[in-house]
Amino acid sequence: MAVAAGLVGSFAVMRRMTLASDAISHVALPGIGLALAFGVNPVLGGLAALFVGTVLVWVTEHETRLPTEAIIGVVFSAALALGSMLASGDELIEALFGTPRAAGGAETILGLAGAALVIVFVLWARNALVIALVSPDLARTAGVRVERLNLLFLLAFALAVALGLRYLGVLLMGSLIIIPATTAKHLARSLRGMQTASVAIAVAATIAGSLAAPALGLESGPLVITIAATIFFVSLLVRREA
Amino acid sequence: MAAEALEVVGLSVSFGATRVLDDVTFRVAAGSSLAIIGPNGAGKTVLLKALVGALPAEGTVRWASGTRIGYVPQKLDIERDLPLTGDEFLRAKAAVARVPGDAAARALDLVRLPADVAVRPIGTLSGGQFQRLLVAFALMGRPTVLLFDEPTAGVDEPGEQGIYDLFRRLQREEGLTLLLVSHDLSLVYQHADHVLCLSRRRTFYGPPLEILTPERLQEAYGVPVKFHAHDHAGT
């Protein structure tokens, strides 16, 4: 899960989707609310809502040519409002910040499959994504189907968010995608370097947070993100040579 | 008459209610070069984007079958701290265009960009170095047509000469077709087989001798235009 987050994050940050990425995770909320209301697995509800929201963003972007960031901002703030009406009390806190409860066997297998899918996609589409982020027109003339690539990337992003719903919750999973990648961008001078660092930081923060949480008597999700954020601030002290 | 590389009939592009290109018609023979000139805002960049399918347009754009396009856009806004090296950028193209990885080194060699520059993040390159990197990017994948939007903007004088020399060499050796937007009328006069002059008022198309006349240019640009016509007939 952390590997998938680190990889997707590195492209999200380079595509200047930082804020949008955070907002995109909020759309899971109405899905979780509905799933709880109908007694379905909340992660599945969140996943479904994420996919619907993602496709909605893509179609709106395609039709209006507004920047992705602007559309996501509108769609997902609305989703957050809607979600908080549907979920209530403890459920809401759990959906927002995750729960340390262990996931069921089927959910674990599904999660691993989802993470594998995201990782394979990012590695497979890496070159096309690189060209498209420098210039969509260049990508087009190089034979890349840019619209389709954008949709696939957004879907991979949504899937990565869904992977962390149970464990980190809606608010914090967006951070696990963005913080390690932002840190890596600050440190790295090449794409390979950035992706390696991004994955390493995401994995390190997740493992350290999960191991330390019981000992400190804290929730693991918030601790994971706190560790990631600490790494980020420490990295700011390291100035790379220009 | 050589085979045609490109035929454009009645091409129009609108942004909302504003018609940027109106009923533009021209053709480009394979292996020839077409210069696209005109005042700012006449739609030169829009025309190139429409030709590569990056903008929705009305009318017909017909490329010869088997056309592979290399495109150098005008100016790209690259974040200075984007962690992507020139080398990685070119290798991404090699992978997408399914050409061997050593094509990157060959392309760098063609545009005379030193290898130690190519390993730096692309946001830290100078304007001219980045321009050459883009030309190298366009040359990978064995294009049959090159589209250049102000290929030498920001390139120093020797670099500019180098890029034009490179174009001519490629044209001679590989039979490439060139479409280039330029503001440098004397270079256009020297290098182009045909000129397409876009303007809000009228569109002219023909050989440089017919288009680059003081009367025509004044009509297109709205003010008298002077340029130094090197007489290099036959180059």
Give A7-62 pLDDT, tens digit per residue.
777 777 777 666 666 677 777 877 887 787 777 777 788 888 888 888 887 887 77
Q: For residue A146, what is the nearest residue in chain B, using CA coordinates?
A: B54
Q: What is the mean pLDDT of residues B110-135?
A: 85
The answer to the question of residue A242 being in a domain is no
The better pLDDT of the pair A1, B23 is held by B23
Name residue, tokens 């994420």. A50
What are the distances in angstroms from CA A142 to CA A25, A138, B90, B136, B180? 32, 6, 11, 13, 18
The answer to the question of residue A126 being in a domain is yes
Share of chain A above pLDDT 70, in %: 88
Which tens digits make up the pLDDT trace of B132-173? 888 889 888 888 898 988 866 666 777 777 777 878 887 887
Q: Which of A61, A17, A53 is nearest to A155 (CA)?
A: A53
Chain B residues touching A194 at Cβ < 8 A? 83
Strands of the sheet containing B145-149, edge to edge, are B69-72, B145-149, B177-181, B33-37, B194-197, B204-206
Choose from B52, B71, B96 for mutation: most chain A CBs within 10 A: B96
ipTM comes to 0.78
Chain A positions with Cβ closer than 8 Å to B: 14, 16, 126-128, 130-131, 134-144, 184-186, 188-194, 242
Element at B180 (helix H, strand E): strand B177-181
Strands of the sheet containing B18-29, edge to edge, are B18-29, B4-15, B58-63
Partner residue opposite B88 with nearest CB, options A142, A191, A242: A191
- Whether B96 and A131 lie within 8 Å, measured CB to CB: yes
The answer to the question of residue A165 being in a domain is yes
Among A63-67, B28-32, B51-55, the range of highest mean pLDDT: B28-32
What are the distances in angstroms from CA B68 to CA A131, A146, B33, B139? 17, 17, 16, 10
The alpha-carbon gap from A15 to the nearest alpha carbon of chain B, in Å, equals 10
Share of chain B above pLDDT 70, in %: 93
Could you give the number of structural domains in chain A? 1
Q: What is the mean pLDDT of residues B208-215?
A: 80
**The pTM is what?**
0.81
- How many Cβ contacts (< 8 angstroms) between chains A and B? 76
Name residue, tokens 């674990």. A108
Chain B residues touching A137 at Cβ < 8 A? 49, 52, 54, 71, 73
The alpha-carbon gap from B46 to the nearest alpha carbon of chain A, in Å, equals 12
The alpha-carbon gap from A229 to the nearest alpha carbon of chain B, in Å, equals 20
CATH of domain B4-221: 3.40.50.300
- Whether A130 and B89 lie within 8 Å, measured CB to CB: yes
Q: Domain span at residue A71? A: 2-237
Q: Is B75 on the interface with A (CB under 8 A)?
A: no
Residue A124 has pLDDT above 80, yes or no: yes
Residue B31 has pLDDT above 50, yes or no: yes
Chain B residues touching A11 at Cβ < 8 A? none
The answer to the question of residue A32 being in a domain is yes
Q: Describe the crossing of helices B127-139 and B86-96 by its angle, rounded to 10 degrees.
A: 20
Chain A residues touching B122 at Cβ < 8 A? 134
The answer to the question of residue A154 being in a domain is yes
Tokens of B211: 């288009």
pLDDT score recorded for residue A21: 65
Q: Is residue A219 within 8 Å of residue A213, measured between CB atoms? A: yes
Chain B residues touching A140 at Cβ < 8 A? 52-54
Taking the domains of chain B in order of start, what are their residue ranges?
4-221
